Amino acid sequence: MTHEEQVRKMTDMIAKFVGFTGKKLPDDVIAKLSELREKETDPMPKVIYDTMFRNQELAVKLDRPSCQDTGVLQFWVKCGTKFPLIDDLEALLKEAVVKATFETPLRHNSVETFDEYNTGKNVGKGTPTVWWDIVPHSDKCEIYTYMAGGGCTLPGCATVLMPGEGYEGVTKFVMDRMTSYGLNACPPLLVGVGVATSVETAALLSKKALMRPIGSHNENERAAKMEKLLEDGINAIGLGPQGMGGKYSVMGVNIENTARHPSAIGVAVNVGCWSHRRGHIIFDADLNYEITTHSGVEL
């Protein structure tokens, strides 16, 4: 296979994968929603969960996106320096988004800032968003694809706390956001929290936290304890599915962190709604692939 044929092949596979993730939720999201549906006892939450699962059934059956807001496409790329298409990857991802926009189809969600012009292709200046992690000596490429909707992840929030505010300040910031803009998304939410040394590092980590599997925990036991305490605290607010009231408001809270300057605590929150459309695919040098988020997928 020539280099050009490899580029076309990977472009086609990514386009299909992007389209698929818009129609079928990841296995861990489906499992958690099923669990929460069983735990709710009042009639209203159960009716809402039944509607969510009917939505999923029809999206697959009718081959169309499960939510009308298919978001801005965002990619986390963890690429080896020896992956044969590393030089082509960013252009390839952009072309895959254009292809998916017409084939899936996806709603046109890329508006050029200041010009107020919708490109009609879901690509524009800086869109789709691509974040890179480079892996020395590897010939593999991991890609997380995520549909960041206008009601969920895009209205995130970040700040820098003074050190005296401590982890109580981190908790207060998260809870203040959940009791103010939390309903801007569609519960039950997956909450991503970044704790780092500045606004931009915390914000990036809070988004990255949403790529983690539901039910996973921060490797630091203190951070993992905070994840559980925040989950219990947000559930206690009583948002429930679609904000209509219920015992469970979140699918989980994921915290990602780095070391920080002793004079500052950067903290950020991003949330994914119940229709948490992310996918994870791993390519080897021959473009064989493994999909970890969805079972039984063939591209």
- What was the pLDDT predicted at 46? 95
What are the residue ranges in the chain where pLDDT is below 50?
none
- What was the pLDDT predicted at 40? 96
Residue the block writes with tokens 């203040």: 176
Nearest CA-CA partner of 274 in 150, 201, 185: 185
- What was the pLDDT predicted at 294? 97
Residue 7 in tokens: 């580029």
Residue 19 in tokens: 């389209």
Nearest CA-CA partner of 32 in 189, 224, 164: 189
Pairwise CA distance, residues 110 & 260, whole Å: 34
Give pLDDT tens digits for 253-296.
999 999 999 999 999 999 999 999 999 999 999 999 999 999 99
Give pLDDT tens digits for 142-161.
999 999 999 888 989 999 99
CB within 8 A of 107, min separation 6: which ones? Answer: 65, 68, 69, 70
For the chain, residues classed under CATH 3.30.1330 are 3-23+66-149+277-291
Specify the pTM: 0.95
Bridge-based pairing of strands 72-80 and 141-148 is antiparallel
CATH code: domain 3-23+66-149+277-291 is 3.30.1330
Sequence length of the chain is: 299
Sheet order of strands, 289-291 included: 129-135, 72-80, 141-148, 278-283, 289-291
